[in-house]
């Protein structure tokens, strides 16, 4: 049996490890954060992700999944090591590869057998080549190592489902051996496996994410124009989506894309292109549109309120999208900062994101246990995330609970007719007022 180790127990690493165990492999997940590993050993996922807890427990009990901080023991006799650590954004927009190289160094210094190292983290084009040279430089034993690229396409909130039934598995390998090892590992998944060179595989990941980000920024741009020319973005996207070449996915306008991937991956590819002496103008435009879009609701509210000083502001939804407790690059963060700095009293509600939000704003925001409580006596309300429980609220609640029902919805949660019927002043994105 192939001994598989996964380095990094974050979104990518953990879900990969758990799903590989689920399809029958024996997997050890390594992370340097002791608290995280302690939780995982008890069968508790440190991240909120549907089905993950159940699968962790099931596979620990079946003796297919284990967790450790002892990387030396884990790496030393592994056949395949997946690297699934974070590659956050540097100040200048480039990708920070410190975690990747830290793990690469640890691997080089501890492995005692031939080993295939597989980079799942999103890394700039050419990184696989560099990591292979780096590891070979630091090897302590006379073993054969090879690095292969295998980018991850899971989305938060649907991570397990996306991995177990992925649209495709991309393998970037420079040898038949590496390609075969990965094909064998992924055989139980029964999904299309696309093999290519390492640089193409690295590019598939960036190009896919940047294309999706571009699609969102494009539709936000069109939505903004719809507002000024009197068109309705919902009718427009419906009309567009019947063209199968366009489709109906990722055409929802809003207050911009957030999360740990699109903002970082658009900036990283743009940064890389400039390094190469080529400017990716389309991606640059997507980034610029997104930066402005974050404050779209604030701009609307400023037309109605001279100042937010002393106002009670209800904020519904904090996470960057529904189905996750992740706040990375969530538009709610800079918007709440603005409100707090202007002296507003912010009352927030999110079904799962409040604990993480408290780490950013421990005292400046009042956290309520329900949306209704947050709306009590509020002067105005912002909706930043389209949680199902928010979308299905009866709009009369806004009228009944708020002092003045001024609702600014950044995710088009409600029908315009419903707002009108409930007697609410309702502003959304790309739709007539
Ligand atoms: C994204 C990609 O969808 C995954 O395919 C990819 O594997 C992942 O990044 C990654 O690189 O790891 P994720 O960031 O979890 O996944 O979330 P998405 O569902 O793509 O949403 C990203 C942002 O775009 C959210 O803020 C969401 O609100 C926004 N969005 C999405 C829109 O504003 N409009 C849409 O139509 C769709």
pLDDT for 277-324, tens place per residue? Answer: 999 999 999 999 999 999 999 999 999 999 999 999 999 999 999 999
Please give the structure tokens belonging to residue 137: 């430089």
In the chain, the domains with their CATH numbers are 3-198 (3.40.50.720), 206-293 (1.10.1040.10), 296-427 (3.40.50.720)
Q: What percent of the chain has pLDDT over 70?
A: 100
DSSP class per residue in 215-234: HHHHHHHHHHHHHHHT--HH
**Any alpha helices (H) in 70-173, and if so which ranges?**
71-76, 98-110, 127-138, 159-164
Q: Contact at 8 Å (CB) between 222 and 233?
A: yes
Strands of the 3-7 sheet, one edge to the other: 65-68, 26-30, 3-7, 80-83, 115-119, 145-149, 169-172, 193-196
Q: Which helix (H) or strand (E) holds 262?
A: helix 262-275
Ligand 1 close to Cβ of residue 427 (< 6 A):
no
pLDDT digits (tens, 9 = 90+) for 336-375: 999 999 999 999 999 999 999 999 999 999 999 999 999 9
ipTM above 0.90, yes or no: yes
Q: Which pLDDT score, from 0 to 100, does residue 72 have? A: 96
Q: What is the DSSP letter of 189?
A: G
Q: Which pLDDT score, from 0 to 100, does residue 433 have? A: 83
Residue bearing tokens 């294309």: 211
Provide the whole-model pTM.
0.95
Confidence of residue 1 (pLDDT cuts 50, 70, 90): confident
Ligand 1 close to Cβ of residue 155 (< 6 A):
yes
Mention every residue, 6+ apart, whose C-beta is less than 8 A from residue 147: 116, 117, 118, 119, 128, 129, 131, 132, 135, 198
Please give the structure tokens belonging to residue 411: 């995710």
**Residue in 259, 323, 353 to alter for ligand 1 test, most ligand atoms within 8 A of Cβ:** 259
Instruction: Based on the residue annotation, tell me whether 261 is a catalytic residue of this protein.
Output: yes
pLDDT digits (tens, 9 = 90+) for 185-217: 999 998 899 999 999 999 999 999 999 999 999
Ligand 1 close to Cβ of residue 382 (< 6 A):
no
């Amino acid at each position: 049996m192939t001994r598989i180790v996964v380095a990094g127990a974050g979104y990518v690493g953990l879900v990969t490890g758990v799903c590989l165990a689920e399809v029958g492999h024996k997997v050890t997940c390594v992370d340097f954060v002791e608290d995280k590993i302690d939780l995982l050993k008890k069968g508790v996922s440190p991240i909120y992700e549907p089905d993950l807890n159940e699968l962790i427990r099931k596979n620990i009990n079946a003796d297919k999944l284990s967790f450790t901080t002892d990387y030396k023991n884990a790496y030393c006799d592994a056949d395949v090591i997946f690297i699934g650590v974070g590659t956050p954004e540097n100040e200048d927009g480039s990708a920070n590869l410190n975690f990747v190289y830290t793990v690469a160094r640890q691997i080089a210094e501890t492995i005692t057998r031939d080993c295939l190292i597989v980079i799942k983290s999103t890394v700039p084009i050419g990184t696989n080549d560099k990591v292979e040279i780096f590891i070979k430089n630091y090897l302590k034993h006379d073993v054969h190592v090879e690095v292969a690229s295998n980018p991850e396409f899971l989305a938060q909130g649907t991570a397990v489902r996306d991995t177990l039934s992925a649209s495709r598995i991309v393998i970037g390998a420079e040898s038949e051996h590496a390609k075969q090892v990965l094909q064998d590992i992924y055989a139980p998944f029964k999904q299309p496996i696309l093999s290519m060179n390492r640089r193409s595989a690295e590019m598939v990941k960036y190009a896919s994410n940047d294309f999706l980000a571009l699609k969102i920024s494009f539709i936000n741009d069109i939505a903004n124009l719809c507002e000024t020319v009197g068109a309705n973005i919902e009718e427009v996207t419906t009309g567009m989506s019947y063209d199968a070449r366009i489709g109906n996915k990722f055409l929802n306008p809003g207050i911009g894309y957030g999360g740990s991937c699109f903002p970082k991956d658009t900036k990283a590819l743009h940064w890389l292109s400039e390094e190469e002496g080529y400017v990716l103008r389309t991606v640059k435009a997507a980034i610029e549109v997104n930066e402005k879009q974050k404050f779209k609701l604030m701009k609307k509210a400023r037309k109605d309120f001279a100042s937010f000083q002393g106002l009670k502001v209800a904020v519904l939804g904090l996470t960057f999208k529904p189905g996750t407790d992740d706040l990375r690059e969530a538009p709610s963060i800079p918007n709440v900062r603005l409100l707090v700095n202007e002296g507003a009293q912010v009352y927030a509600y999110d079904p799962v994101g409040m604990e993480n939000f408290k780490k950013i704003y421990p005292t400046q925001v009042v956290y309520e246990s329900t949306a209704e409580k947050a709306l009590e006596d509020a002067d105005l309300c912002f909706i930043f995330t389209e949680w199902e429980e928010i979308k299905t609220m009866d709009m009369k609640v806004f009228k009944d609970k708020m002092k003045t029902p001024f609702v600014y919805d950044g995710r088009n949660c409600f029908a315009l007719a419903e707002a009108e019927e409930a007697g609410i002043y309702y502003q959304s994105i790309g739709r007539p007022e």
